[in-house]
């Protein structure tokens, strides 16, 4: 929910004008407690300043105070600077300019600004009787607002709005810069983002592409993988990972996952290699890198390239190195809900191999090596300039957000650990490959829930997801839903049990993936999740008998 604060309400509060100041101040306090976003219209700054100045000057005259006009103006600006500190600025758009043929241009601007939001998502907090009568659904008086009941207290699974609040000025500048220079395809922001991301990961090259899926597809094409080839991968991932292997005409060969990280189990890879194997594609699931040293060592022994699917782990580290730059090629996604997301589709490929980088650059523009010279088969796979500009605006806050995600995860862990089901720990990663005996540790849980182990000591996670194992998942999900807490399942069905892939590998061949798919459940996770909301989630989980 959002409130746009009209000038009269701001003046009431700043001047403590009786009797209006008190209900207005209370209305704003209630709104803040309910996490309502408070907006001021950027087109009203001069009106705010002029009206407050006029009011203060009148007050001084009436009180016989000998203040100069400059001192009164300085006072007005000080009060306004203080008032706007915790508010959002709603940009004035071009459509709100031509209002001089309306009865009240200022009011018309505010109503047009409100009409940008979906109906019912924002109201103008005002004392203006005409507006209140003419636009009853878009406006509300401070008195009426104080009498409203509790708003809907549903939590977001991922809150992108608070992030947007934090970066709004940079975001709007970036977007408008692109609108004004007009290089919508492969514009300067594309090159700037690629340079910054390459530097961030330490890879020599970053090639932005249309999505995470496209990044994986282009990587396979650059490696020349095609019909008759096999690619080793995990069945416990988003479908895109395996889909692109099929799209180039190759076959995904599913290898089971580790029970503690849910990532590809390197110990099981060699048994699945064949003369047709042309690459290994591990996924760094939930934000934690897969065991890339072990996987790279196997790949090196057999002369195979490794493509890390880092769609969920961009920003994480493995032995001090950045995810995305841990193998021959690394691919990430800027899908909006990813740790580093844009406002649409986007992705990137990382590599330090010059020839592969060149191939990826050509493939993303229809295999073109120079204008109208198509050296290879390619795709229309560019990331557009606007989406790159949006990622640039987010990049300055990214390290802070990663630290926040880790704090949130640590807090979930600390609060939930005392309540988790006790039972045998999953087999250690250093041990031999799982046997029927060690897999007993994966027998279905009879109790409430179990935490996935904290990330391995040699790596960090960006916690794209915070995921638990829950035996009676549907029941817990339903109860949390009733308490206004959304959950998600990543992923409910291993790929080798999906109709399109089931012929490739029997479900029993990947028992850990099968078990995890039955039990995993992800909790709300984002950098701006407050301690209070987290407490509410934990209480709802631990108070619920399953």
Ligand X SMILES: Cc1ncc(COP(=O)(O)O)c(C=O)c1O
Indicate the residue among 41 and 334 with the shorter CB distance to ligand X: 334
**At which residue do the structure tokens 């190195």 appear?**
321
Indicate the residue among 13 and 281 with the shorter CB distance to ligand X: 281
330 binds ligand X (CB under 6 A): no
Considering only 196-204, 309-317, 403-411, 499-507, which stretch makes contact with ligand X by CB under 6 A? Answer: 309-317
Q: Which of 254, 194, 219, 203 is nearest to 331 (CA)?
A: 219
Report, in Å, the least distance between residue 360 CB and ligand X: 16
Report, in Å, the least distance between residue 308 CB and ligand X: 10
Q: Which residues contact 318 (CB under 8 A, 6 or more apart)?
A: 289, 292, 293, 326, 458, 459
SS3 state of residue 374? strand
Report, in Å, the least distance between residue 30 CB and ligand X: 38
324 binds ligand X (CB under 6 A): no
Indicate the residue among 237 and 534 with the shorter CB distance to ligand X: 237
Indicate the residue among 427 and 455 with the shorter CB distance to ligand X: 455
Indicate the residue among 52 and 383 with the shorter CB distance to ligand X: 383
Report, in Å, the least distance between residue 59 CB and ligand X: 57
Q: Which residues contact 88 (CB under 8 A, 6 or more apart)?
A: 37, 38, 39, 40, 165, 168
Q: Which of 41, 238, 254, 314 binds ligand X (CB under 6 A)?
A: 238
Number of residues that bind ligand X (CB under 6 A): 15
Indicate the residue among 284 and 325 with the shorter CB distance to ligand X: 284
CA 208 – CA 544 distance, rounded (Å): 45
Please report, for residues 63, 240, 307, the alpha-carbon distance to residue 304 in angstroms, rounded to integers and kept in the order given. 85, 21, 10
Q: Which of residues 338-357 bind ligand X (CB under 6 A)?
A: 345, 347
Considering only 108-116, 146-154, 234-242, 517-525, which stretch makes contact with ligand X by CB under 6 A? Answer: 234-242
Indicate the residue among 142 and 330 with the shorter CB distance to ligand X: 330
N-terminal to C-terminal alpha carbon distance within the chain: 33
Report, in Å, the least distance between residue 442 CB and ligand X: 22
Q: Which of 140, 295, 311, 513 binds ligand X (CB under 6 A)?
A: 311
Report, in Å, the least distance between residue 506 CB and ligand X: 23
Q: Which two tokens stand for residue 361?
A: 């650059």
Question: Could you give the string, one character per residue 25-64, with x where binding to ligand X holds by CB under 6 A and - elsewhere?
Answer: ----------------------------------------
Q: Which two tokens stand for residue 486?
A: 């959304």
Q: Which of 335, 343, 412, 491 binds ligand X (CB under 6 A)?
A: 335
- Phi/psi for 191 (5° steps) reads -65, -40
Angle at 402 between CA 400 and CA 404, to 5 degrees: 70
Using an 8 Å Cβ cutoff, are 388 and 175 in contact?
no
309 binds ligand X (CB under 6 A): yes
Q: Which of 202, 477, 159, 491 is nearest to 341 (CA)?
A: 159
Indicate the residue among 4 and 158 with the shorter CB distance to ligand X: 158
Please report, for residues 200, 238, 330, 355, the alpha-carbon distance to residue 203 in angstroms, rounded to integers and kept in the order given. 8, 25, 9, 14
Q: Which of 51, 233, 237, 261 binds ligand X (CB under 6 A)?
A: 237
CA 153 – CA 135 distance, rounded (Å): 26
Report, in Å, the least distance between residue 213 CB and ligand X: 3
Indicate the residue among 216 and 504 with the shorter CB distance to ligand X: 216
- Would you give the distance in Å from CA 50 to the centre of its chain? 40
Report, in Å, the least distance between residue 232 CB and ligand X: 15
Q: Which of residues 168-227 bind ligand X (CB under 6 A)?
A: 211-213
CA 173 – CA 170 distance, rounded (Å): 5
Indicate the residue among 39 and 238 with the shorter CB distance to ligand X: 238
141 binds ligand X (CB under 6 A): no
**Could you check whether the bond before residue 129 is cis, i.e. omega within 30 degrees of 0?**
no
- Would you give the distance in Å from CA 44 to the centre of its chain? 32
Q: Which of residues 259-298 bind ligand X (CB under 6 A)?
A: 283
Q: In the beta sheet, which residues pair with residue 317?
A: 322
Q: Which of 10, 178, 217, 240 binds ligand X (CB under 6 A)?
A: 240
CA dihedral (39, 41, 47, 53) in degrees, to 10, reads 30
How many residues are listed for the chain in this entry?
A: 546
465 binds ligand X (CB under 6 A): no
Q: Which residues contact 217 (CB under 8 A, 6 or more apart)?
A: 244, 247, 248, 379, 381
387 binds ligand X (CB under 6 A): no
Indicate the residue among 109 and 213 with the shorter CB distance to ligand X: 213
Q: Which residues contact 64 (CB under 8 A, 6 or more apart)?
A: none
Residue nearest to ligand X (CB): 212
Report, in Å, the least distance between residue 244 CB and ligand X: 8
Report, in Å, the least distance between residue 219 CB and ligand X: 11
Q: Which of residues 107-136 bind ligand X (CB under 6 A)?
A: none
CA 198 – CA 208 distance, rounded (Å): 10
Contact set with ligand X (CB under 6 A)? 211-213, 237-238, 240-241, 283, 309, 311-312, 333, 335, 345, 347
């Amino acid at each position: 929910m959002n409130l746009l604060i009209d000038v009269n309400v701001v003046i009431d509060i700043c001047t403590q004008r009786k009797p209006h100041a008190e209900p207005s101040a209370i209305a704003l306090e209630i709104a803040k407690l309910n996490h309502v976003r408070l907006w001021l219209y950027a087109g009203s700054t001069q009106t705010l300043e002029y009206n407050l100045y006029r009011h203060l000057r009148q007050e001084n005259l009436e009180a016989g105070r000998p203040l100069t006009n400059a001192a009164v103006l300085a006072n007005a600006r000080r009060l306004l600077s203080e008032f706007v500190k915790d508010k959002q600025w709603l940009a004035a758009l071009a459509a709100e300019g031509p209002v001089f043929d309306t009865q009240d241009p200022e009011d018309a601007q505010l109503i047009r600004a409100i009409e940008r939001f979906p109906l019912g998502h924002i109201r103008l907090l005002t004392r203006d009787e005409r507006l209140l009568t003419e636009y009853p659904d878009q406006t509300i008086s401070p008195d009426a607002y104080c009498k409203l009941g509790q708003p809907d207290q549903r939590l977001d699974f991922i809150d992108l709005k608070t992030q947007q609040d934090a970066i709004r000025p940079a975001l709007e500048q970036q977007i408008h810069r692109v609108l004004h220079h007009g290089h919508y395809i492969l514009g300067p922001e594309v090159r700037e983002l690629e340079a910054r991301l390459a530097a961030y990961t330490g890879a020599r090259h970053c090639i932005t592409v249309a999505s995470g899926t496209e990044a994986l597809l282009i990587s396979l094409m650059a490696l020349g993988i095609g019909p008759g080839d096999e690619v080793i991968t995990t069945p416990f991932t988003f479908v895109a990972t395996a889909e692109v292997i099929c799209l180039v005409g190759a076959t995904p060969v599913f290898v089971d996952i580790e029970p503690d990280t849910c990532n590809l189990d390197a110990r099981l890879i060699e048994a699945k290699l064949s003369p047709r194997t042309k690459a290994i594609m591990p996924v760094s699931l939930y934000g934690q890198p897969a065991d890339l040293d072990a996987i790279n060592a196997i790949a090196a022994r057999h002369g195979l390239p490794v493509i890390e699917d880092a769609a969920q782990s961009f920003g994480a580290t493995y032995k001090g190195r950045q995810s995305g730059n841990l193998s021959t090629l690394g691919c990430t996604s800027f899908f909006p809900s990813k740790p580093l997301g844009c406002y649409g589709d986007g992705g990137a490929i990382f590599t330090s191999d010059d020839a592969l980088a060149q191939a990826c650059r050509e493939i993303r523009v229809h295999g073109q090596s120079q204008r109208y010279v198509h050296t290879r088969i390619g795709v229309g796979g560019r990331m557009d300039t606007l989406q790159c500009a949006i990622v640039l605006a987010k990049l300055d806050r990214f390290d802070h957000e990663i630290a926040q995600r880790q704090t949130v995860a640590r807090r979930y862990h600390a609060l939930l650990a005392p309540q988790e089901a006790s039972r045998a720990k999953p087999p250690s990663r250093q041990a031999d490959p799982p046997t029927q005996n060690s897999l007993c540790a994966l027998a279905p849980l009879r109790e409430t829930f179990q935490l996935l182990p904290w990330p391995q000591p040699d790596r960090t996670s960006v916690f794209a997801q915070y995921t638990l194992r829950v035996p009676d998942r549907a029941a817990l999900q339903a109860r949390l839903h009733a308490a206004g807490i959304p959950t998600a399942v990543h992923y409910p069905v291993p790929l080798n049990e999906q109709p399109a892939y089931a012929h490739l590998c029997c479900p029993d061949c990947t028992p850990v993936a099968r078990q995890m798919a039955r039990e995993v459940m992800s909790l709300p996770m984002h950098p701006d999740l407050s301690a209070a909301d987290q407490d509410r989630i934990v209480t709802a989980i631990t108070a619920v008998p399953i």
